[in-house]
């Protein structure tokens, strides 16, 4: 439907069992779909709540038991994230874009990651899987023309390697990996 060509590398780096937080840079509106389509185990994500207002998309996302982020109501987001910890602990991988928004496609590096993302990994005692996306362009501006995405699954970071770090230190480490 989205007319995407997705090239994937590093699938051998995806842990097939255990609690897992998947974190990725955010290049286009279809990043979540691209990762979910290629991911070799059950995964859900955390879209902003406004995405759930789109009729067809709302039904599809609810089928994946997503955890919406409500930027206007921290209490609602907190409740969703409490459920997300349990979901991760039950070995259902969780995809988050810690930049918090889509960055311009031509920017190669990430300059800001929200460190609160990594509270989920600490609370769920989950490994972190960094994922790097390179996108040819925004689907909304190119559709129905072909859009190319390259997804690279980097080696995961074991919980034991960051369990004593602050969320800011974890964010800096992940940002460095995604910018390499």
Model confidence pLDDT, tens digit, residues 93-145:
999 888 877 665 566 778 888 888 899 999 999 999 999 988 655 545 555 55
Count CA atoms closer than 13 A to 139's CA, side-chain side. Answer: 17
Picking from 4, 28, 23, the residue whose alpha carbon sits closest to that of residue 156 is 23
> What's the pLDDT score for residue 104?
58
What integer best gives the mean pLDDT of the chain? 83
Mean pLDDT of 79-95: 86
Contact 114, 162 (CB under 8 A): no
Out of 20-29, 57-66, 167-176, least confident range = 57-66
Q: Read off the pTM.
A: 0.85
CA distances, 98 to each of 15, 43, 46, 119, 148 (Å) = 20, 16, 10, 11, 22
Query: What are the respective helix, strand and coil percentages of the chain, to the nearest 5?
Result: 40, 20, 40
Q: What is the spatial order of strands in the sheet that 20-24 belongs to? A: 4-9, 147-153, 127-135, 20-24, 93-96, 43-45
18 pLDDT more than 60? yes
The angle that helices 167-179 and 117-124 make with each other, rounded to 10 degrees, is 110
Mean pLDDT of 24-39: 84
68 pLDDT more than 70? yes
> What's the pLDDT score for residue 105?
57
């Amino acid at each position: 439907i989205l007319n995407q060509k997705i090239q994937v590398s590093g699938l051998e780096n995806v842990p097939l069992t255990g609690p897992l937080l998947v974190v990725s840079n955010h290049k286009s509106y279809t990043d979540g779909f691209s990762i979910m389509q290629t991911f070799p185990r059950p995964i859900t994500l955390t879209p902003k709540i406004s995405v759930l207002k789109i009729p067809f998309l709302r039904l599809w996302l609810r089928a994946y038991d997503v955890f919406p982020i409500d930027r206007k109501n921290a209490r609602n987001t907190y409740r969703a994230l409490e459920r997300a910890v349990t979901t991760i602990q039950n070995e259902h991988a969780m995809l988050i874009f810690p930049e918090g928004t889509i960055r311009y496609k031509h920017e190669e590096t990430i300059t800001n990651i929200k460190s609160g993302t990594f509270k989920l990994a600490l609370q769920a005692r989950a490994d972190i899987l960094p994922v790097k996306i390179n996108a040819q362009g925004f689907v909304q501006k190119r559709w129905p023309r072909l859009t190319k995405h390259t997804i690279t699954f980097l080696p995961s970071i074991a919980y034991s390697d960051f369990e004593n770090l602050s969320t800011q230190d974890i964010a800096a480490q992940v940002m460095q990996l995604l910018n390499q």
